[in-house]
Amino acid sequence: TQNLDGTCPHPKLHPLPIGLDFHSIANYGKWGEWPAPPELQEAWLREVIARTKPNRERLLRVHADFHLSKPNHSHPWETRGEIQRQLSGHPDIAFQRFFLRRRWLWREKARHAFVISPHGNGLDCHRTWESLVLGCIVIVKRSPLDPLYEGLPVVIVEHWDEITKDKLRLWHEQHRDAFDRPEVQEKLTNRYWIDRVRKMTRERMG
């Protein structure tokens, strides 16, 4: 299930990633883009990826654009505005100052080694998975979704103030080459998660 928050633990419940948001632009256009089918959006994304540097050669900084969009509902966790105020002025976090057309935003993100991804309308966020596909190491807050990130270049923190220059260097050294590993790239595909669901279904029914 998506956004599994751990309030109803059950052996048959397992988290699934929310993935990329191709449906918004497909349905009505958004983020400066005209309506376009998912296939075309994926082609745009692949074009951006093909032109980006590998993570090890990127700016050793954290890209942040979460503050430009606010969740539609109230939540028990901290707001994006609170996180922005907490991290404002951080020398290693590049806050996006204005909205960009999505393809341009993808290019800007992919200049950075890291992306920070607070919770969205639910615990999961499209930004997390989009950033991973773009080859960025993602920084998230600890949550019941942590098992989703196993084996992926994701840094899980208890508090945002853990983000320091020294920690970024350490995390970069740990994760910068992860995107070269086939098993990491595989885990960022629909096929991987579909096969996983089918396997678990067979095991439960067998």
Which pLDDT score is estimated for 1? 47
**Confidence band of 2 (pLDDT split at 50, 70, 90):** low
The verdict on residue 15 lying in a domain is no
137-141 and 93-95 as β-strands: parallel, antiparallel, unpaired? unpaired
Pair (31, 106) in one structural domain = no
Segment 24-34 shows an average pLDDT of 82
113 in the same domain as 26:
no
| For residue 6, pLDDT beyond 60 | no
**pLDDT above 90: percentage of residues in the chain:** 62
- Eight-class DSSP state of 72: S
- Would the pLDDT of 45 be above 50? yes
Domain of residue 171, CATH code: 3.40.50
**Pair (29, 86) in one structural domain:** no
Query: Under 8 Å CB-to-CB from 57, ≥6 apart: which residues?
Result: none
Residues in the chain: 206
Let me know whether 161 and 141 are in one domain.
yes
pLDDT tens string 79-129? 888 899 999 999 999 999 988 888 999 999 999 999 999 987 788 999 999
36 and 61 inside one domain: no
Confidence band, pLDDT 50/70/90 cuts, at residue 180: very high
- pLDDT band, residue 27 (cuts 50/70/90): confident
The mean pLDDT value of the chain amounts to: 89
pLDDT in tens, 181-199: 999 999 999 999 899 888 8
The confidence score (pLDDT) of residue 35 equals 87
Helix H or strand E encompassing 90:
none
The range of the structural domain enclosing residue 165 comes to 55-69+79-205
Contact (Cβ atoms closer than 8 angstroms) between residue 100 and residue 32: yes
Same domain flag for 107 and 187: yes
Residue 9 domain flag: no
| 114 closest CA partner among 172, 52, 189, 48 | 172
Long-range contacts for 192-201 (Cβ within 8 Å, ≥24 apart)? Answer: 193/16, 193/17, 197/16, 200/14
Question: Does one domain contain both 119 and 190?
Answer: yes
pLDDT at 24 over 90: no
Report pTM: 0.90
Instruction: Tell me what pLDDT residue 15 has.
Output: 78
